[in-house]
Structure formats: C-alpha cells, structure tokens
Structure 1
C-alpha cells in the first residue's frame, strides 16, 4: 500500500473536497482519498504508487490545480 500527499489549490469548501475526492478515486488502484480543505492537502492511498500526472489530470477535471 502506498500513501502520497499532494497539495491542491483553489478548494474552499466541502463541495470542493467532494469533487476532488470523486475524480481522484477514479484513478486505477486508489483505495482512499482524504482531503483537508484548509491546507489543501489531499492524501491518496493506493495499492501501488499513483503517477503525479494522473492525480493532476483528476484534480484539473474537478476544476482545481495541483500545486507544484
């Protein structure tokens, strides 16, 4: 099992967190997503490490941006 934390910018509420969670959960192998709106932290738990590009694409699909 792998856990990686990413920082997402632009989230301000629970709906934001839900949107990001929904999109990131669609990545193959992802088993859990935990979002902390105030800090922008998104912890992704997966069977294998997930590619940053896949997370970026999912976050952008939700309407937000992955911090560099």
Structure 2
C-alpha cells in the first residue's frame, strides 16, 4: 500500500533519517520518500497506516490527517 502523511516538525536531514528509520523498523522493506519543505512523507509499505503513523509520532513528530 502507498500512504501519504503530513508530518510537522521535520527541520533537517537528521529529522528525515529519524522518520525513515522509524518507518523501516515497522517494515524493513518500506520505501520512504520525504519532502521536508512540504512536510510530506510518502511510504510504500505492507504495514498498516496506523502502525506507520505511530512510528512517526513516537519519534516526536506530529502526524496530521491524511493528505492525497
């Protein structure tokens, strides 16, 4: 499944790595693309949307309602 998240609080490359690593801990095969300027995180994963959103939140970032 492909998911799009609006994520607030990503300000640097470290933030991008933290989000990517958190998502890949949930699904090691996940493909993650981040547009930090837009605050968008696109994930191709077999994991559930809720599990992926929780992983981002646990890193300290705010996940807004889904964007399409």
State the TM bucket, normalised to the shorter chain.
0.7 to 0.9
Report which of the two has the higher share of strand. 1
Gaps of 5+ in 1: none
How many pairs does the alignment contain?
65
Please identify runs of 4+ aligned residues in structure 1 that moved more than 3 A.
none
Structure 1 position 60 matched with structure 2 position 45 = no
Give the deviation of 1:31 after TM superposition. Answer: 2.4
Please provide the CA RMSD for this pair: 1.6
TM-score, length-normalised on structure 1? 0.80
Quick one: distance in 1 between partners of 2:53 and 2:42?
13
Which residue of structure 1 aligns with residue 36 of structure 2?
37
TM-score, length-normalised on structure 2? 0.80
Once the two structures are overlaid, the 10-residue window that deviates more, 28-37 or 53-62, is 28-37
Gaps of 5+ in 2: none
Whether contact under 8 Å (1:56, 1:65) holds in the other structure is no
